[in-house]
């Protein structure tokens, strides 16, 4: 699997789909912020006790974290190795240049890097609070409001979500081709699903900082 | 028509190359692109210069030998082979850039000629079927369902020109390889090697140093035979199936 460009790409597609599935859940859960501090903080608490009593406290959360970390690493490593190979396979460019492919397609690599950096910043900001002065453990609602009360918090977050939308737009469609489920007949619906989901995710995630900025959430 | 040509000139594989500028006059709209280059070469020979080397053979769009990147497009602005491209696609006074296929796996031999034997080795690794020798079998001995026959014919159209590799920003040979794999894998005649064919041909493709697919779709846009991008999707499916089924690959 890993020795072949086709196999490695299948690993990239599968790990990407795992992350997209997570994003859908994450976005839907974020919307709870519009229900006020009690609802949102209760949800954050539930994340820690989910699966109980079958699982111990925080086990469910840690399982999700391990799966996600494995996906990010598998995805990043396969993307890096395949990109290196692709660049080597075309050492000389054409003198006569033409704009090629769609914007979403051309920005997969840099968009991916932006997402990787964002994931790190996001965890340090709202999970551990390392880069967040005034962070209060166990008070996610006020931490979120606090983050989106700074201009740089908004800029970083909104830029990353636009990059995420573009990445998912090409990524979801791409993953279908890589895993062999795309076809001429299915292409219109597949593109509609990819574009639609990318749009819903982008708008859904961005609604939170916009909510804080406009005072709907405070 | 009078044209300015900017042509990639390179003495041999190891020499550095550069674009050289030439003027050609008296080009008719009915000439093919290669006839236009013949006109240039006749003038160069008369002047005692080295003619521009370029590949060509059938000049009727079926052999896959011709190979030029014209103004940044593999096989030029029309969806056809360079030999079937006519000068009516250009205007008097145009400047035309002419470059060779660019890919690590297709090194330049001279000027516009590149070495495409990597494709031959991909074919050798699995682009065949096992068939009894001797007299030809009855035409209808092996029934093939119509949709499968159509699918095989669509992919059999690939002439192995390499425009897909030239157009791909990753120098990937996925479209070519998928055309060859799909053509044989869908047919009953190709069934005995169905798994080893796709595993070995993709393996050889990787081994030759072609890049991977990022689904930009440039290959299918450039292909003079209209091999669709979904051929790659289909080959991915075949590869994943074979990888699951046949761990003991006959390599
Ligand atoms: C660590 C940060 C990331 C990097 C460096 C990265 C990079 C890449 C690259 C280079 C590709 C290949 C693009 C192409 O084939 O044209 C890709 C594809 C993809 N990415 Fe990411 N990405 C990252 C994060 C993510 C995230 C967070 C998601 C989930 C939403 C995701 C989902 C996908 C999917 C589904 C594909 C399609 C796989 C395929 O091409 O078949 N990626 N990524
Ligand atoms: S797939 Fe099309 S572009 Fe590629 S080698 Fe075959 S005919 Fe040429
Ligand atoms: S010379 Fe044979 S296809 Fe162009």
The answer to whether the CB of A11 is under 6 A from ligand 1 is no
Q: Give buried/exposed letters for B49-84 (b at 16+ CB in 10 A, else e).
A: eeebbbbbeebebebbbbbbbbbbbbbbebebbbbb
The answer on pLDDT for B3 being more than 80 is yes
**Chain A contact for B217 (CB, 8 A cutoff):** yes
Q: Which of residues 161-180 of A touch B (CB under 8 A)?
A: 170, 173-174, 176-180
Determine the pLDDT at residue B168: 96
Q: Write the pLDDT tens digit of every residue in B176-187.
A: 999 999 999 999
Query: Residues A204, A32: contact at Cβ < 8 Å?
Result: no
Query: What value of ipTM does the predicted structure carry?
Result: 0.93
φ, ψ dihedrals at B225, nearest 5°: -105, 5
Task: Round to whole Å and give the CA distance between A216 and A144.
Answer: 13
Read off the tokens for B195: 């798994």
Task: Round to whole Å and give the CA distance between A49 and A55.
Answer: 8
Determine the pLDDT at residue B14: 94
* pLDDT band of B132, cuts 50, 70, 90: confident
Q: Minimal CA–CA distance to B211: which of A40, A138, A5?
A: A5
Read off the tokens for B52: 């521009």
The answer on pLDDT for B146 being more than 90 is yes
Determine the pLDDT at residue B246: 66
Please judge whether B102 and A90 are an interchain contact, meaning their C-beta atoms are less than 8 angstroms apart.
Answer: yes
Task: Round to whole Å and give the CA distance between B179 and B176.
Answer: 5
Q: Write the pLDDT tens digit of every residue in B13-61.
A: 999 999 999 999 999 999 999 999 999 999 999 999 999 999 999 999 9
Task: Round to whole Å and give the CA distance between A48 and A55.
Answer: 10
Q: What percent of chain A has pLDDT over 90?
A: 88
Residues of A in contact with B97 (CB under 8 A): 95-96
Task: Round to whole Å and give the CA distance between A137 and B228.
Answer: 54
Query: Residues A119, A160: contact at Cβ < 8 Å?
Result: no
* pLDDT band of A1, cuts 50, 70, 90: confident
- Average pLDDT value over all residues in chain A: 94
Task: Round to whole Å and give the CA distance between A77 and A70.
Answer: 11
Q: Which of residues 98-127 of A touch B (CB under 8 A)?
A: 98, 100-101, 105-106, 108
Task: Round to whole Å and give the CA distance between B144 and B136.
Answer: 17
φ, ψ dihedrals at B70, nearest 5°: -110, 120
* pLDDT band of B248, cuts 50, 70, 90: low
Atom of ligand 1 nearest to the CA of A83: 10
The answer on pLDDT for B249 being more than 70 is no
Helix (H, G, I), strand (E, B) or coil at A77: helix
The DSSP code for B143 is -
Read off the tokens for B46: 């008369």
For chain B, which domains are there?
3-110 (3.10.20.30), 116-130+143-245 (1.10.1060.10)
The answer to whether the CB of B68 is under 6 A from ligand 2 is no
Task: Round to whole Å and give the CA distance between A143 and A162.
Answer: 22
Task: Round to whole Å and give the CA distance between A72 and A77.
Answer: 8
φ, ψ dihedrals at B4, nearest 5°: -105, 125
* pLDDT band of A102, cuts 50, 70, 90: confident
Determine the pLDDT at residue A52: 87
Residue of A96, A104, A108, A112 to mutate, interface with B, max B Cβ within 10 Å: A96
Determine the pLDDT at residue B51: 98
Task: Round to whole Å and give the CA distance between A96 and B70.
Answer: 8
Q: Which of residues 93-152 of B touch A (CB under 8 A)?
A: 97, 99, 102-105
**Chain A contact for B249 (CB, 8 A cutoff):** no
Compute, in angstroms, the gap from residue B173 CA to the centroid of ligand 1: 21
Q: Write the pLDDT tens digit of every residue in B191-238.
A: 999 999 999 999 999 999 999 999 999 999 999 999 999 999 999 999
**Of the partner residues B19, B73, B230, the one whose CB lies closest to the CB of residue A183:** B230
Number of CB atoms found within 10 A of residue A84's CB: 11
Determine the pLDDT at residue A101: 75
Residues of A in contact with B73 (CB under 8 A): 98
Compute, in angstroms, the gap from residue B163 CA to the centroid of ligand 1: 27
Q: For chain A, what's the residue count?
A: 218
Query: Residues A58, A51: contact at Cβ < 8 Å?
Result: no
Q: Tell me the whole-structure pTM to 2 decimals.
A: 0.93
What kind of fold does domain A5-213 have according to CATH? 3 helical TM bundles of succinate and fumarate reductases (1.20.1300)
């Amino acid at each position: 699997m890993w020795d072949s460009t086709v196999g490695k790409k299948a690993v990239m597609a599968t790990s990407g789909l795992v992350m997209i599935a997570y994003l859908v859940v994450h976005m839907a859960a974020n919307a709870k912020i519009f229900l006020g501090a009690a609802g949102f903080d209760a949800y954050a608490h539930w994340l820690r006790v989910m699966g109980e009593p079958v699982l111990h406290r925080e086990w469910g959360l840690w399982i999700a974290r391990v799966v996600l970390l494995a996906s990010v690493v598998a995805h990043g490593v396969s993307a890096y190795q395949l990109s290196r190979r692709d660049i080597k396979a075309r050492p000389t460019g054409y003198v006569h240049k033409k704009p090629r492919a769609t914007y979403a397609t051309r920005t997969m690599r840099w968009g991916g890097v932006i997402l990787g950096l964002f994931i790190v910043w996001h965890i340090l900001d709202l999970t551990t609070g390392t880069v967040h002065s005034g962070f209060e453990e166990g008070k996610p609602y006020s931490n979120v409001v606090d983050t989106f009360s700074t201009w740089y918090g908004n800029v970083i977050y909104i830029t990353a979500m636009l990059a995420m939308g573009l990445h998912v737009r090409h990524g979801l469609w791409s993953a279908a081709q890589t895993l062999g489920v795309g076809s001429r007949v299915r292409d219109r619906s597949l593109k509609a699903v990819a574009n639609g989901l990318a749009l819903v995710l982008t708008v859904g995630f961005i609604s939170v900082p916009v909510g804080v900025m406009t005072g709907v959430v405070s | 028509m009078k044209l300015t040509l900017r042509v990639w000139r390179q003495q041999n594989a190891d020499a550095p190359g550069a674009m050289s500028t030439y003027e050609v006059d008296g080009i008719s709209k009915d000439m093919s692109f290669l006839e236009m280059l013949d006109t240039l070469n006749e003038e160069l020979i008369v002047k005692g210069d080295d003619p521009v080397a370029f590949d060509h053979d059938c000049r009727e769009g079926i052999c896959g030998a011709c190979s030029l990147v014209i103004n940044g497009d593999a096989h030029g602005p029309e969806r056809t082979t360079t030999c079937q491209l006519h000068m009516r696609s250009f205007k008097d006074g145009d400047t035309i850039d002419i470059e060779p296929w660019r890919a690590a796996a297709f090194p330049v031999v001279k000027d516009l000629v590149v070495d495409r034997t990597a494709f031959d080795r991909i074919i050798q690794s699995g682009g065949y079927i096992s068939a009894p020798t001797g007299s030809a079998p009855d035409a209808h001995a092996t029934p093939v369902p119509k949709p499968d026959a159509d699918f095989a014919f669509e992919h059999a159209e690939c002439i192995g020109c390499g425009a897909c590799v030239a157009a791909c920003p990753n120098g990937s040979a996925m479209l070519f390889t998928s055309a060859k794999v799909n053509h044989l894998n869908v047919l009953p005649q190709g069934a005995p090697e169905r798994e080893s064919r796709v595993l070995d041909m993709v393996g050889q493709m990787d081994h030759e140093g072609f890049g991977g697919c990022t689904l930009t779709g440039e290959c299918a846009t450039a292909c003079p035979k209209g091999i669709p991008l979904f051929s790659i999707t289909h080959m991915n499916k075949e590869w994943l199936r074979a990888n699951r089924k046949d761990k003991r690959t006959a390599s």
